[in-house]
Amino acid sequence: MKVAAKFGTLDAGGVKGLPVVQKRHGTLGGSITDEIETQIVEGRLAPGEKLDEVVLGNQFSVSRTPIREALRALAAKGLVEFRPRIGAIVACPTVGEVMDLFELVAELEGVAARLASERMTDEDRRHIVEAHDACQNAAVTLDPHKYYETNGEFHSAIRRAAHNKILLEQTELLDKRLSPYRRFITFRPGRIETALREHEAIYTAILAHDGDAAAIAMRDHVQVLAEESLALAKSLRF
């Protein structure tokens, strides 16, 4: 498994192919937290999956203490839960909770779209245009993984163009909690084509500096994900 530069691979004292923390870069606990968070966001650790401190300690070639600290930090972000007699697991919300999260994100992203239409700089506009074009190109390849990545870049470009630090932080945190479910919905047949039409409405309104239309189009776009999340009950563990 390839990992970021701050991680190497274990030598004879560890398990081949698993990440090991290089202490010279940042704090030990922070590096472990970042790597586990990445695995959750990218879907390599699934909702409900047990996070055993001993197993993780062996994977990262560290004691249980930094692992425990990392799991607590992720629990504070809503990405990990602690269950009695089970221990830490990847956060596993109910269908209702997933829908609640989508509804909240829809409102926050709607605000971001409105603010972006009012506050974007020329550079922000360029990033939004580039991200929009990248989404269209990814859709042509019929590669859902590539489209999921470019879709995230499109939404991120809009959030950043809103120039509201707190809004950006909170929206991105909630988006990480929803990442396994966004990924699932993105991969459903026909979803990419529908999303492209929704993106076009958002994109057109923002570039026209029509804040109200941008907010409505973005809320509708994310709310569709909330409605489709009902299908998760048949495909994911809760």
Residue intervals in the chain for CATH 1.10.10.10 = 7-90
d(CA 37, CA 84): 22
Residue (of 150, 153, 234, 157) closest to 188 by Cα position: 234
Check if the beta carbon of residue 3 is closer than 8 Å to that of residue 35.
yes
- Residue-wise pLDDT tens for the chain (238 aa)? 333 333 333 333 333 334 444 443 445 657 899 999 999 988 899 999 999 999 999 999 999 999 999 999 999 999 999 999 999 999 988 878 888 899 999 999 999 999 999 999 999 999 999 999 999 999 888 788 898 899 999 999 999 999 999 999 999 999 999 888 888 777 777 788 888 999 999 999 999 999 999 999 999 999 887 777 666 555 554 4
d(CA 173, CA 88): 19
Query: What does CATH list as the number for 95-234?
Result: 1.20.120.530
Check if the beta carbon of residue 80 is closer than 8 Å to that of residue 71.
yes
Residue intervals in the chain for CATH 1.20.120.530 = 95-234
User: What pTM was computed for the model?
Assistant: 0.77
7-90, CATH topology level = Arc Repressor Mutant, subunit A (1.10.10)
**Cα 169-171-173 angle, rounded to 5 deg:** 70
Backbone angles phi, psi at 80, to 5 degrees: -135, 145
Length of the chain, in residues: 238
